[in-house]
A and B are shown apart, each in its own frame.
Chain A
Amino acid sequence: MTEPLYYFIQQLLNGLTVGSTYALIAIGYTMVYGIIGMINFAHGEVYMIGSYIAFIVLAALALLGLDSLALMLIGAFAISMIVTSAYGFSIERVAYRPLRGGNRLIPLISAIGMSIFLQNVVRLAQGSRDIAMPSLITGGWSIGPEEGFHATLSYMQLVIFIVTFITMTALTLFISRSRMGRACRACAEDIKMTNLLGINTNNVIALTFVIGAALAAVAGVLLSLYYGVINPYIGFMAGLKAFTAAVLGGIGSIPGAVLGGLLLGVTEAITAGYFSTEYKDVVAFSLLILILLFRPTGILGRPEVEKV
């Protein structure tokens, strides 16, 4: 009876692939929330822009006659991360910084406005239709017997795992070891006190947005390579799922965002695989409600300390 096992492995791999990218996007939500207590609803759109830039870069490189896959990928990641970070930085500067310090709801509305704005800008600039590109990374490994059902791990899925792992490790090291990372953690703890200690909190907040956007760009590149299709509306659902992942893991906690993303991805795949694809989202969001009922701060979230 190995067939059920391979089936389970296949669904687990499928879930972890989607989950990894949820996690990458979720970090953008969770870091911003951790520091300024605001939900950046335009973050899904930042991911969408990252995907478009990846598409444009790959198409441009292919047009220039570059045929090395590794160079194309590096180019796509580098340019997409840089340009998307610039977007993240500008969004914070234009839409959130002028509103900081007022009512918490105001930046939230501004974020929703920003999201609609970005979606429509891309729609007008790139058209509203699906844009597709051929698979660049094909093939994969079979796990299991030659005959009958066997699980497949495609090279693309492997690339997603590896890139996600490297990115997460780099982020963790940055936050725990570097000077700026320490400043980030200090801001998350008490932003007023950090300011009094002579750290420019405006820079730290801007950095948070830049990091979040860069990670969203990584997810954008990976997912556009994996699915091969993008349109200006992909940011909405991806943002919603990533936001759910962040809340599930405990908003404000980076390991929580990763855990939440993977958990959400696997839950979806298992539901679709063993029950019905129709109930995928129902089960995923029911899980969210259940966890929030019993652990209102999410899986790894800390209870909020009343700041005096």
Chain B
Amino acid sequence: MNKATKHVSKLFAAMALAGMASYSVAADTIKIAMAGPVTGAVAQYGDMQFIGAKMAIEQINKAGGVNGAQLEGVVYDDACDPKQAVAVANKIVNDGVQFVVGHLCSSSTQPASDIYEDEGILMITAASTSPEITARGYQLVFRTIGLDSLQGPTAGKYIAEQVKPKNIAVVHDKQQYGEGIATAVKQTVEAAGYKVALFEGVTAGDKDFSALIAKLKRQNVDFVYYGGYHPELGLILRQAKEQGLNAKFMGPEGVGNADISAIAGEASEGMLVTLPKAFDEDPKNAHLVEAFKAKKEDPSGPFVFPAYAAVQVIAEGIQKAGSTDTDKVAEAIRSTSFDTPTGTLAFDEKGDLKDFSFVVYQWHANGTKTALGE
């Protein structure tokens, strides 16, 4: 051992003593990676996922852990960037973590899940809704949220049966999630006999939508479905109001958070949005909502409870399998059902939930929402 490596090893020893003691007791802890955006434009969705997963870990540990072992959550930041998601996935492999709750953005989850499947890591996403993620026959990939192919038709059906607009436009952000869901909505309303006047993509991160809005105005569009996230839709709403476009807007759960009201202000009043059922309003979750509020965390985000459920499924899966061998855990998850705060969850062969429903909400300018029905 030369001088330099001695130095380094001393440093590591010091680090281990100074609080990274978890490495030395690895036998008694099961690490769960929580992967999602800590930074970037959609970091608030990451937060929802992290607080849900952390709460589940905390409560499971308090109740004695899993087969005598304690769970330990480690946060990894993918910034909702597919390239960084792959780097994160590789880091998770290197860190020897076997269970992942994440990622958040479908476009990040997809490339990362390739790596997890190859390396025998079990992944449950609480937020990625793209159908392709579970359509590749992977054994170790699950999700505790519904699919775009479910959310799109819910929105499409609502448009066709309740809103009955004269002239529909469908806009998306050209990303896997946004375009996927927009396509599903388009197909549903077309099947119901409506014609889509305009189907067009915008660039995520763009700030100027005036040209698009002028076009919508010219074609007398009175209903716009937007597949994507809130930063773009917020600006579209705001600029549409300034340019005097009289249309109703609707979006998927990616637009349903208070930030859209901060961006669009008054223009966000009356927007429609499909969200998973509001689990925090379910009376049987009252104690959990209290626990979040005690920590000054907001349990109302759409991914908080699915993330909680994801950790719970992993924990109970390990318990049932009697080991942390991911193949056995995956088998256990498929063969049973779990009683979680998001309902009784059962998984199909693909790793999707057998039953999940989205609800249409009306959004208000103060960041709140009211349910309009399923």
Chain B residues whose C-beta falls within 8 Å of the C-beta of A271 in the assembled complex: 211
B214–A130 contact, CB under 8 A?
no
A128–B43 contact, CB under 8 A?
yes
- Complex CA–CA separation, A172 to B340 (angstroms): 68
B235–A14 contact, CB under 8 A?
no
Q: What does the 1/0 interface line of A245-277 toward B look like (CB < 8 Å)?
A: 000000000000000000000001111110011
A100 CB-CB contact with B under 8 Å: no
Q: Which residues in window 1-60 of B have CB below 8 A to A?
A: 39-41, 43-44
A152 CB-CB contact with B under 8 Å: yes
A277–B200 contact, CB under 8 A?
yes
A129–B43 contact, CB under 8 A?
yes
Chain A residues whose C-beta falls within 8 Å of the C-beta of B217 in the assembled complex: 149
A233 CB-CB contact with B under 8 Å: yes
B238 CB-CB contact with A under 8 Å: yes
Most buried by B among A3, A156, A276: A276
A11–B211 contact, CB under 8 A?
yes
Q: Which residues in window 220-243 of A have CB below 8 A to B?
A: 223, 227-229, 231, 233-234, 237
Q: What does the 1/0 interface line of A275-295 toward B look like (CB < 8 Å)?
A: 011101100000000000000
> Quick one: which of B203, B212, B214, B259 contacts A7, CB cutoff 8 A?
B214
Q: What does the 1/0 interface line of B230-247 toward A look like (CB < 8 Å)?
A: 010011001100111000
Known contacts A128-B43, A135-B265, A268 near B211 by CB under 8 Å: yes
A56 CB-CB contact with B under 8 Å: no
B210–A269 contact, CB under 8 A?
yes
B44–A229 contact, CB under 8 A?
no
| Residues of A contacting B: mostly | helix
B244–A135 contact, CB under 8 A?
no
B346 CB-CB contact with A under 8 Å: no
A280–B243 contact, CB under 8 A?
no
Known contacts A7-B218, A130-B263, A229-B235, A234 near B207 by CB under 8 Å: yes
Chain B residues whose C-beta falls within 8 Å of the C-beta of A151 in the assembled complex: 214
B259–A129 contact, CB under 8 A?
yes
A128–B39 contact, CB under 8 A?
yes
B215 CB-CB contact with A under 8 Å: yes
- Complex CA–CA separation, A273 to B174 (angstroms): 18
A208 CB-CB contact with B under 8 Å: no
- Complex CA–CA separation, A208 to B345 (angstroms): 64
A129–B41 contact, CB under 8 A?
yes
Known contacts A154-B242, A278-B201, A272 near B215 by CB under 8 Å: yes
Output the least CB separation between B54 and chain A (Å): 20
B373 CB-CB contact with A under 8 Å: no
Known contacts A10-B214, A11-B214, A234-B207, A138 near B242 by CB under 8 Å: yes
B190 CB-CB contact with A under 8 Å: no
Output the least CB separation between B263 and chain A (Å): 4
Chain B residues whose C-beta falls within 8 Å of the C-beta of A15 in the assembled complex: 211
B290 CB-CB contact with A under 8 Å: no
Most buried by A among B203, B211, B215: B211
Chain A residues whose C-beta falls within 8 Å of the C-beta of B372 in the assembled complex: none
Known contacts A11-B211, A237-B205, A229 near B200 by CB under 8 Å: no
- Complex CA–CA separation, A48 to B152 (angstroms): 36
- Complex CA–CA separation, A269 to B208 (angstroms): 9
Output the least CB separation between A302 and chain B (Å): 32
B210–A277 contact, CB under 8 A?
no
A273–B231 contact, CB under 8 A?
no
- Complex CA–CA separation, A16 to B262 (angstroms): 27
Output the least CB separation between B369 and chain A (Å): 19
Pairs of residues from A and B, 4 with the lowest C-beta to C-beta distance, nearest first = A272-B211, A14-B210, A278-B201, A132-B263
Q: Contacts A130-B259, A132-B262 given; 10 further ones with Cβ under 8 A? A: A11-B214, A17-B210, A123-B39, A128-B39, A130-B262, A135-B242, A227-B208, A231-B231, A233-B205, A278-B200
Question: Could you list 12 examples of A-B contacts with CB < 8 Å?
Answer: A3-B218, A7-B218, A11-B211, A14-B214, A18-B208, A130-B41, A156-B242, A233-B205, A271-B211, A276-B200, A277-B212, A278-B203
